[in-house]
């Protein structure tokens, strides 16, 4: 599968909000907070819809957060595409876009530490495992993440 990217549109958000992953990955299902963030992201220069380049249908999403010359990336693949061998190609397409648009000095992402399936995909795409840390959110939630950084 080949991927292309475009600015996130309202119809993409509507589709994303219907996505439901099988347990234990249902932790990634959109919740009430995600709805607000996604609706605000429509038309943003940091949020993208990932399309299946051949079928021209929504296959995933990407958010890029520039920080001090580097970028933090967050993304998701449509539930029916996960576990089917598309992960490395998806992450590679993301990295191609990020390098082209931002030319960052560093690229990193956070993944839930128990999500070994995703961490292995990220390693195959060139990321290395880093620290496990607690991230504090404005609503008071604290979530433990594994930080992974793109190797030089």
According to CATH, the superfamily of the domain at 3-108 is Gcn5-related N-acetyltransferase (GNAT) (3.40.630.30)
At residue 115, the pLDDT reads 96
Model-wide pTM > 0.85:
yes
The token duo for 3 is 């991927």
For 137-145, the CB contacts below 8 A with 24+ separation are 139/33, 143/112, 144/112, 144/113, 145/110, 145/111, 145/112, 145/113
Provide mean pLDDT across the span 25-42: 88
Tens digits of residue pLDDT in 45-87? 999 999 999 988 999 999 999 999 999 999 999 999 999 999 9
The pLDDT of residue 29 is 92
Average pLDDT, the chain: 94
- Evaluate if residue 140 carries a pLDDT over 80: yes
- Domain ranges (residues) in the chain: 3-108
Q: Is the pLDDT of residue 33 over 80?
A: no
Half-sphere exposure of 67 (CA within 13 A, CB side): 10
């Amino acid at each position: 599968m080949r991927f292309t990217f475009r600015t996130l549109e309202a119809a993409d958000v509507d589709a994303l909000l219907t996505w439901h992953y099988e347990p234990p990955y249902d932790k990634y299902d959109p919740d009430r907070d995600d709805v607000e963030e996604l609706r605000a992201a429509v038309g943003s220069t940091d949020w993208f819809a990932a399309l299946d380049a051949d079928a021209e249908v929504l296959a995933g999403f990407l958010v890029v957060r520039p920080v001090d010359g580097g970028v933090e990336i967050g993304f998701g693949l449509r539930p029916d595409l996960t576990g089917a061998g598309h992960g490395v190609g998806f992450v590679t397409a993301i990295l191609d876009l990020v390098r082209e648009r931002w030319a960052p000095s560093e690229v990193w992402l956070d993944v839930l530490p128990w999500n070994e399936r995703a961490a292995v995909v990220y390693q195959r795409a060139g990321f290395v495992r880093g620290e496990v840390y607690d991230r504090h959110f404005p609503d008071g939630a604290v979530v433990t993440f594994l930080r992974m950084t793109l190797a030089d």
